[in-house]
Chains A and B, each alone.
Chain A
Amino acid sequence: MSEPSAPQTASPQTPAAAIEMQDVHKWFGRFHVLRGVDLTVQRGERIVICGPSGSGKSTLIRCINRLETHQRGRIVVDGVELTDDTRRIDEIRRDVGMVFQHFNLFPHLTVLENCTLSPIWSLGKSQKEAEETAMHYLARVRIPEQARKYPLQLSGGQQQRVAIARALCMSPKIMLFDEPTSALDPEMVKEVLDTMVSLAKDGMTMLCVTHEMGFAREVADRVAFIDQGEFVEINTPEPFFTNPQHDRTKLFLSQILR
């Protein structure tokens, strides 16, 4: 669906940027969701994207692992341009972990099986190796004792931490978070944010759609405000929060920071 574009840029040496988006457009029917988005995410960079509902922030990060297809422009992830080539897309998805608002854990598999499924089937790991990795990351998100349970037996916060561990088990180079705390009960938000903070401190490249401004202040290298399918303002957290430039940013911040 994307138009024929410049030759593939899969260069043998490590490319500089983790994600490059150039003039990305996306329509849902007649609705122009993304209106020419440009964004370069450096390796190890943590970016928080915020914006009002319907602004296109989820669509934007869902384009990065091609859960949505963009219709114009270029997206290059880890040096590989996103095209219709499904095999290439599957490869990119293995390198890009994603955490969803509603967890999207597989309810018919145990927590451990959720974490080992794709390493075994997509990366060809042995079951033993995959389980060791899984237990390592489940310990990392502090719920190793839940490994044999089914997702629906856990609390929302625990489920989201499993989802993070499941993504980490693929050893991703980039992690995408799509409003990871929005569906949680208030008392469970912190345990998930703590996990994300520790991940950020370890140098993971992260792109987070979230309205947790405390999290943004603590870990983000840059905060981006998107409205009506366009970036309105991108800045480091300190000036972004204390001295926003654009009126729409000011209005948005005044609405969510009470």
Chain B
Amino acid sequence: MTDAISTGAFVRRAFSEPLPPPPSERGALGWVRANLFGGPLSAALTILSVALLVWMTPGLVRWLLIDAVWSAPDGDACRQAGTGACWAYVRAKLLFFTYGSYPRDMLWRVDLTLLIGAALAVWLLWPDAKRKGLGLVLFLVVYPYVGVMLLHGMGDVTRGLLASVARLTGSQSLADMAANALPVVGTHLWGGIFVSLLVATVGIVVSLPLGVALALGRQSKAPVVRFFCIVLIEVVRGVPLITVLFMANTMLPLFVPANWTPDRLLRPLIGVALFASVYMAEVVRGGLAAVPRGQYEGAMALGLSHWRMMRLIVLPQALTVVIPGIVNSFIALFKDTTLVAIVGIFDFLRAVDTQRLDPTWTGPTISTTGYVFAAAFYFVFCFGMSRYSLMMERRLSYGRKH
């Protein structure tokens, strides 16, 4: 069709139909060509990776599955030469790994707390769930109260309240409940996975709003607010988490009256939450910087008040932009919870670490098995968070082209 163009004036009479792309661009072969053998370097890396997989996989599968000891009364079977992972040990210690030394007859209290938390989390994280406002109130206001009551025990105030209701109604069962239900379980008995989840959840739930508040405070027009936020962010961020934990552990009690001394678990919780918040503040600040000036102007020109503009226009966009950074912080925080062991909290990793020395079980594969189990646990959670964030990023792209 090009013959007419070269000789001057040209008017098209018919338009071409689209043709399918050449075979090299299509189908499995096209994909392999494009992704695995795009060039010499790509081809070399592909071959190297495949070789590595072929070399490693059989050994791993044998150790993890085929040669593994799945059930045994004690460590004898695992001590035999040539055995793989000692899953029997994990099974035997699973209760301890999950609950620490929490009284065995009251584990339902932990289970119920985790169950309610999981249900609320699904409600809030499910993209199409309805009435998230109610869910948020339940999660942030009601759940902490219920959770503390279930895990730690009924407080004196609630007990007194229940007792007065019992007196008013003359109900004997209520009076019994006021006296005996949910006895206190000291935090020195808490441990294992549920403590790790607790520390991580508190850190995540506190750090997002507090981080947003600090980020906004950092660009506040009020010098006192701005100064306070900058100092807090820079000081806490400039110090290792372990230092923050030690400070929280030893210095918090110095600042408050003796009988107000925070619980030994509460102290690292505050430290972790604070530490996560200042990191979050910097992530959010990046997001705020990414919102174009025009968005502020568009909102202002419509007469939206400052706080409505921030809440309805600026923050939704700023937070969407930094979802990868936020989730990155969450993942880092989730793994950093293992550091609370330093101040004597019996988190999951510490639980695994102590049990490998149990004389009934100790043997050559016990430590590795325990650590592989711990690694798998952390990986499942972190990978889950990562996939969830990718899904949300896609959903929140609002017609932007990728």
Contact = CB atoms under 8 A, between A and B. Distances in A.
Interface of A: 65, 67, 86, 90-98, 100, 102-108, 117-118, 121-122, 149-153, 166-167, 170
5 contacts: A86-B305, A94-B302, A106-B295, A107-B398, A117-B312
Contacts, number: 78
Given A67-B297, A104-B294, A104-B297, A93 B400 contact: no
Given A93-B300, A170-B302, 7 more contacts: A86-B305, A93-B303, A107-B399, A150-B399, A167-B301, A167-B302, A170-B303
B304 A121 contact: yes
A108 B315 CA distance: 11
A118 B304 contact: yes
- The listed residue with most A CB atoms (<10 A of its CB), out of B303, B305, B396, is B303
B13 interface: no
A149 to B, nearest CB: 7
Contacts of A167: 301-302
Given A104-B295, A104-B298, A106-B295, A118 B398 contact: no
B320 interface: yes
Given A100-B298, A121-B312, A108 B303 contact: no
Contact of A106 (B300, B306, B313, B396): B313
Contacts of A149: 399
B317 interface: yes
Given A104-B297, A122-B308, A166 B302 contact: yes
B316 interface: yes
A100 B294 contact: yes
- 6 closest pairs, A vs B, by CB? A104-B298, A94-B303, A93-B303, A118-B302, A98-B301, A153-B399
Given A152-B398, A152-B400, A108 B300 contact: no
A125 to B, nearest CB: 13
B298 A105 contact: yes
Contacts of B396: 108
B268 to A, nearest CB: 37
Interface in B297-329: 297-306, 308, 312-313, 316-317, 320
Contacts of B312: 117, 121
Nearest to B314: A106
